[in-house]
Amino acid sequence: MEQIKRDPLGLKEVYYYYSEGGIVSSPGLRELLDKYHIPVVIDSGSLEIFLSLGFVPAPKTMIKDVYKLPIGCVLGDKECIQQFKKPLEVQRNTQSVEQITREVRTLLTEIVEKSLNDLDLSTEIGVILSEGVDSIALTWLLRHVYQRKCSAFYCTFEDKLSDSEINKGILDELGCKTERIHITTDNALKWLFDIVRDMEDCLADPELVASYGMNRYIAEKCNTIFSSQGADHLFGGIMFYLRMRDSEKHYKKGQVALCSEKRAMRLISYLHDLTFVEKKALANQISQNTFQDSLAAYLEDNEDIVDLLIHWMSVTYIPEGLIRRNVMSLKHSDTRIIFPFLDERMKSYTYSIPSEFKVYGNINKYLLHEAFSDVVTAQSLKRYQPNFHTPLGVWTKKPQWLDFMHSVFSESDYFDYQLVKDRLEKNKRGEIDNSRILFQLLIFELWLKDIRTRCSSLYTHMV
């Protein structure tokens, strides 16, 4: 039997099932279910994890007894699957900010150069401008270091049509053609069926629709897309999950607190694969300020919570969320997408950086800001406000979305329509923002209906 691997970045997926004749596998979940007549039974534990994270981490899938090969693992190698969750062991040396930022800039430049060497000079290059220094740095390297023609794309949503003069000034400085992709409520709703059709295991990341719309649009104009995704998590984007308590605004071990119960649940799910059984106890720990002590019990003496969180995001959310939503949106296109910040050399290097440099006060991606401070000043970046985040809160209040969601949830096999209806009404009135969970429920319902329709497998209820 040919050895089946999943690449370290997670660009290709591998699904497998233990049958009477041994392990059977396929690059597609639907293909596996259909070919081997595997019953479509929703795994309740996976569904709970999905409703917390928006995806199901490998090796689990949404289908009971069907598994997904984790990144960098070989099918059948159980020891490898057990070990993939552990952070890399790297040599740490005390370094200065100046040394680290110099090395980061040099390394990113080399990675971009290597990627360009693999491309023909006639290749049409597009860059996704997200919301900060990482995507601007990529664009600057392509234009000003390697003099490659490229187009920069960014998205806007309704009620946010105008570009400020600050945005225009920064984009003009990049020296390349920039183009706005406007995503409306109506086209987002129309895309949902295409999105669900192209995904294998269920995914409901908040930026799913925006990424899908942007990538499909860019693919019509460019052969290759450069994306800055991954930089957030490797260079301190964990500020979304952590906040500092010490007055000096520097990270110190043992002084990290979770922002909220929701984010604490997400962290716990990442680290320990727990479901909602412990939710009440966890909430009590947070309110009594004992959560940090509880979490410390899971750490080895030489483990750091920042390193552990970054590693888990690298082996779960990055391949199952970021990578999958981008690859899925280009499924029917010849356009290639490149992630320089997720290059193995960059990932290995960031693991060697001491934690105190990754979480630096309240500055997100501090090292990247310092590395490219001569390209765009910190003050300019603070005023640079592209509208990349999908406005689920706006969409789920629109009449066309509300009507559609009511029609979907009224036929649900898994969720009490009256409870969902109550959330829809409270969301509509603005009493509470239920948009994220409503979006996850909607994607799950559409995905399940699609997989039941398109697979010949026997359907049974969740067990």
- Per-residue model confidence as pLDDT tens digits over 37-53: 898 899 888 887 787 77
Q: Which of 2, 12, 7 is nearest to 76 (CA)?
A: 2
Looking at the domain assignment, is residue 130 inside a domain? yes
Q: What is the largest CA-CA distance in the chain?
A: 65
The answer to whether the CB of 331 falls within 8 A of the CB of 198 is yes
Local confidence band at 277 (pLDDT 50, 70, 90 cut-offs): very low
Number of domains, the chain? 4
Q: What is the mean pLDDT of the chain?
A: 78
3-state secondary structure of 15: strand
Q: Is residue 184 part of a domain?
A: yes
Residues 138 and 191 in one domain: yes
Kindly report the number of other CB atoms within 10 A of residue 407's CB atom: 9
Give tens-digit pLDDT for 67-90: 999 888 888 777 676 666 666 666
pLDDT confidence of residue 107:
96
240: in domain: no
Pull the structure tokens for residue 78.
């159980």
Chain-centroid distance, C-alpha 370: 25
Q: With beta carbons less than 8 A apart as the criterion, state whether 244 and 256 touch.
A: yes
Nearest-Å Rg of the Cα atoms of the chain is 22
Q: Are residues 216 and 176 in the same domain?
A: yes
- Least confident segment among 131-145, 343-357, 446-460: 446-460
Q: Domain end: 279, 303, 327, which one?
A: 303
Residue ending a domain, among 303, 332, 362, is 303
Are 343 and 403 contained in the same domain?
no
Residue 327: both structure tokens together:
């690859």
Res. 273: pLDDT tops 50:
no
Is 174 a member of any domain? yes
Contacts of 407 (CB under 8 A, 6+ apart): none
Position 439, amino acid = F
d(CA 195, CA 192) in angstroms, rounded, equals: 5
In a domain, 403, yes or no: yes
Is 388 part of a structural domain of the chain?
A: no
Burial of 159 per CB tally in 10 Å (0-12, 13-18, 19+): exposed
The answer to whether residues 218 and 329 belong to one domain is yes
Asked if 219 and 348 sit in the same domain, the reply is yes
Look at strands 66-68 and 150-157 and give their pairing.
unpaired
Same domain, 334 and 418: no
Q: Which residues contact 449 (CB under 8 A, 6 or more apart)?
A: none
Same domain, 331 and 434: no
Are 222 and 129 contained in the same domain? yes
Rounded Cα gap, residues 14 and 27, in angstroms: 5
The mean pLDDT value for 241-254 works out to 35
| Cα–Cα distance for residue pair 117/96, rounded to 1 Å | 32
Residue 30 lies in a domain: yes
Inside any domain, residue 267: yes
Please answer whether residues 290 and 281 qualify as being in contact, where contact means their C-beta atoms are separated by less than 8 angstroms: no
Q: Mean of the pLDDT values across residues 94-116?
A: 91
Looking at 37, 58, 83, which one is the last position of a domain?
Answer: 83
E strand map for 86-176:
125-128, 150-157
Domain that holds residue 205: 97-234+308-383
- Pick from 15, 396, 13: nearest CA to 206: 396
Same domain, 213 and 347: yes
Quote the percentage of the chain above a pLDDT of 90.
26
Give helix 417-429 / helix 399-409 axis angle, nearest 10°. 170
**Domain holding 193: CATH number?**
3.40.50.620
Q: Select the more confidently predicted residue: 295 or 255.
A: 295
Q: Which has more confidence, 32 or 21? A: 32
Residues 372-413: tens digit of each pLDDT: 888 876 656 655 555 667 888 889 999 999 999 999 999 888
Q: Decide if pLDDT at 180 tops 80.
A: yes
pLDDT of residue 343: 92
Q: How many CB atoms lie within 10 A of CB 298?
A: 12
Least confident of 21-30, 227-236, 328-337: 227-236
Q: Where does residue 83 rank: exposed (0-12), middle (13-18), buried (19+ CB within 10 A)?
A: exposed
Does residue 227 sit in the same domain as residue 338? yes
Checking if the pLDDT of 161 tops 60, the result is no
SS3 state at 153: strand
Residue 134 and residue 132: Cα distance in Å, rounded? 6
Which is nearest to 43 in space by CA: 201, 197, 198, 200?
Answer: 201
What's the whole-model pTM score? 0.82
H or E element in which residue 32 lies? helix 29-35
Pairing of strands 15-19, 22-26: antiparallel
Write out the two tokens for 361.
């006060």
- pLDDT for position 51: 79
Query: Same domain, yes or no, for 269 and 160?
Result: no
User: Which one has a higher pLDDT value, 429 or 176?
Assistant: 429
Backbone angles phi, psi at 292, to 5 degrees: -60, -40
Q: Are residues 299 and 203 part of one domain?
A: no
Residue 192 gets which letter from DSSP? H
